[in-house]
A and B are shown apart, each in its own frame.
Chain A
Amino acid sequence: MREYDLCDLVCPLSKIKATELIESLSEGETVKIILGDADSLKSVAQELKSRGIKPGFEQDGESKFILTISRG
């Protein structure tokens, strides 16, 4: 599974990059996107919701959020 660490991008750059990644997913592909702040998490989650994608979610420490995203 490919993993993308976007912790060095603050919102909305993290959202812009995550959106690019989501749009580049091929059918059946799963990726992990790691975000480094709550605003990034909120805006990426919003983007996923608008696309009807329900991600897996894990939190690593206080400010590391891991979303697992699949294109079904």
Chain B
Amino acid sequence: MSQKKSSEKRTLHKELDHKLRVYSDITQLIASPENPTPLVRLNRINPNKDFPIYLKLERYNPFGSVKDRIVYEMLRGLEIENRTLVEPSSGNTGIALACIANVLGVPVEIAVPEAIPNEKKVMLRLLGAKLWEAADELCPRFPSEGARGVVDGLIKSPATKDKYISPNQYENELNVQAHYRTTGPEIWKQTRGKINYFFAGFGTCGTITGVGRYLKEQNPKIRIIGVEPSSPNHRLPGMKRITGLDEEFVPRILDRSVIDDSVEVTDEDAYRTAIELARKDGIPAGPTTGAILYVALHYAESNTGLAVVISPDDAFKYASFYLDIFEAQEGKVRGEKYERV
């Protein structure tokens, strides 16, 4: 058998056809304008018919979150050579990175905050990633982000710097580019340009900057609303409180010029909204979706227009966090933080 025939045999189809859904590797499922994640209207949790809210369900990416997009984009622009990939992550970026690194056959290490859900740690171990579990206060150079400190240490220490490479989602413009190139155009196309409000959380700030920039270019009147935890000590993995943060720790890729409003949300409101979303509209989402949706529902009380809310991931990775709430409600444990949820 010739080399050409052998190669043809390994590939079922020459062209990528999302209608057939036959792929030559798992990364081809990552969302794009040709293969968007779904927009789903919320019919019961939102009583205002003049302010329809659509959730952009990023869980439908192959590795389960919005981070699949940015990891793919960042790795496309990275010369890994013989080095190990390393990245700080509250879980979703790490999972996407580990999956794509496995596709590429590249070793991967993830620095995670101690407080992320066990479900995410188990998933990272399942994928073969080495975990660095870091206390938030590990290093004075990164006062509340020990995981970022670990990766910075690995990249800068003379003893380790040649062995590691980091995509660095906090500073990598390709993080923004992924959303400018895919998520933004998807939303614009899916809403037929009728979107009036876009809601997203502050984290690395890639989503809000990339989508916000794209949408503002299509229609400067679209309002971009950012959501942040009301306290630096929160239980919303992946979200970051920007207000009051020293400028050196604000993600460099954040473009404040595209943001019209930023709103704070408590853990209680975020979890309560996520639970209500599951029970009223049948969508089990992570607590960050609850946080962002809480703000959109608040807007719905006094505005009209079409809103899109980013739903970064699903509820399954946070089962243990939700269990804490239910046990607190049932009086099984003293759950001071969640008694009101």
Contacts and interface: CB of A to CB of B under 8 A. Distances in A.
A43 B150 CA distance: 13
A9 B160 contact: yes
B154 interface: yes
Interface string B82-109: 0000000000000000000000000000
Contacts of A14: 153
A42 B140 contact: yes
B78 interface: no
Contacts of B152: 10
Contacts, number: 43
B159 A9 contact: yes
A13 B139 CA distance: 9
A12 B159 contact: no
Contacts of B134: 12
B149 interface: yes
Interface footprint category on A: 10 to 19
B142 to A, nearest CB: 8
A18 B142 CA distance: 18
Q: Interface majority SS on B: helix, strand, loop or mixed?
A: mixed
B340 interface: no
A11 B140 contact: yes
Interface string A8-24: 11111111100000000
A8 B139 CA distance: 16
B141 interface: yes
B138 interface: yes
Nearest to A42: B140
B256 interface: no
A67 to B, nearest CB: 16
A9 to B, nearest CB: 5
A3 interface: no
B140 to A, nearest CB: 5
A16 B149 CA distance: 11
A43 B158 contact: no
Interface string B129-168: 0000010001111100010011011101111100000000
Nearest to A7: B158
A39 interface: yes
Contacts of B140: 11, 39, 42-43
B149 A9 contact: no
B117 to A, nearest CB: 23
A10 B138 contact: no
- Chain B CB within 10 A, most for which of A12, A16, A42: A12
Interface in B181-211: none
A67 B282 CA distance: 58
A16 B132 CA distance: 10
Contacts of B154: 13
Q: Which 7 A-B pairs have the closest CB atoms?
A: A12-B139, A13-B153, A8-B159, A8-B158, A12-B138, A12-B149, A9-B157
Given A13-B160, A39-B140, 4 more contacts: A11-B149, A12-B138, A12-B149, A13-B159
18 contacts: A8-B158, A9-B153, A9-B157, A9-B159, A10-B152, A10-B153, A11-B153, A12-B139, A12-B146, A13-B154, A14-B153, A15-B138, A15-B139, A16-B150, A39-B140, A43-B138, A43-B139, A43-B140
